[in-house]
Amino acid sequence: MAPFATPPIRPFAIELDRSALTLRPEGPVLTRRLSDLAGLFLDTAAWRAAVEDGDPVVYTVSSSPVPESPAELPQSITTIRPGDVGGELNFTKGHIHPRPEGEIYLGLDGEGGLLMFDGTDHVFLELSRDRVGYIPPGWAHRSINTGEADYSFLAVYPGGAGHDYGWVLEHGFGARVYAGSAGPELRPFGHPRPEPAPR
Ligand code: M6P
Ligand code: ZN
């Protein structure tokens, strides 16, 4: 048998609860509020005002118990609440994998999409229910709720890939997604970076 950094876990079934949008058995659950997304929305004044006005939950990530260890394939369901900050639609922080490895997303419920950026090019994929998005190695990825209800998707990713959030603060995503009168509008960069958030 191949050597493992941590002992591999035993085979088991995971149930995807389509109504609760959770995985069972459940592992860690992460909740990210607006204050956790400092420095990411372009309109810093609108972001600060919304943080002071209740600091709403923007998204939750419900994982199975498969650990984030090399050679494992953890999964999670992310649910992003609808809304915007200064017109910019709610999103996940977004990250790039320090170890360049791919990832798979499956749209489960609601309307949303996947924005990817390799430092030069950006790609936006609409990813509603039953569409699979492929994130190649070397592409930063962020999900966006473009609808008026919760948006949920399943992610399956290499457990040793890691999450680099600093790269996103430094490089952005090449585009931002806004609520437009005729639906979501992708606005390519050219925008200044937001002011640094206060500590
Ligand atoms: C998906 C996966 C996770 C990620 C989560 C939230 O479920 O890509 O690895 O943690 O989305 O995204 P972020 O880490 O960018 O906040
Ligand atoms: Zn990832």
pLDDT tens sequence across 87-129? 999 999 999 999 999 999 999 999 999 999 999 999 999 999 9
CB of 90 shorter than 6 A to ligand 1: no
Q: Based on the number of CB atoms within 10 Å of its own CB, is 15 exposed (0-12), middle (13-18) or buried (19 or more)? A: exposed
Ligand nearest to the CA of 135: 2
Q: Where are the domains of the chain?
A: 19-188
Please give all residues whose CB falls under 5 A of ion ligand 2, grouped by chain where several chains appear.
Answer: 103
One CATH from 3.20.20.150, 2.70.170.10, 1.10.357.140, 2.60.120.10 for 19-188: 2.60.120.10
pLDDT tens sequence across 51-88? 999 999 999 999 999 999 999 999 999 999 999 999 99
In this structure, is the dihedral angle defined by the CA atoms of residues 137, 166, 123 and 134, taken in order, positive or negative? positive
The candidate with the shortest Cα–Cα distance to 87, out of 191, 149, 180, is 180
The candidate with the shortest Cα–Cα distance to 71, out of 161, 134, 154, 135, is 161
CB of 95 shorter than 6 A to ligand 1: yes
179 Cα: distance to centroid of ligand 2 (angstroms): 25
Contacts of 89 by beta carbon, 8 Å cutoff, 6+ apart:
83, 144, 145, 146, 177, 178, 179, 184
CB of 163 shorter than 6 A to ligand 1: yes
Ligand nearest to the CA of 152: 1
Ligand nearest to the CA of 154: 1
Side-chain half-sphere CA neighbours of 138 within 13 A? 4
- Beta 151-156 vs 75-80: how paired, if at all? antiparallel
CB of 107 shorter than 6 A to ligand 1: no
pLDDT tens sequence across 158-169? 999 999 999 999
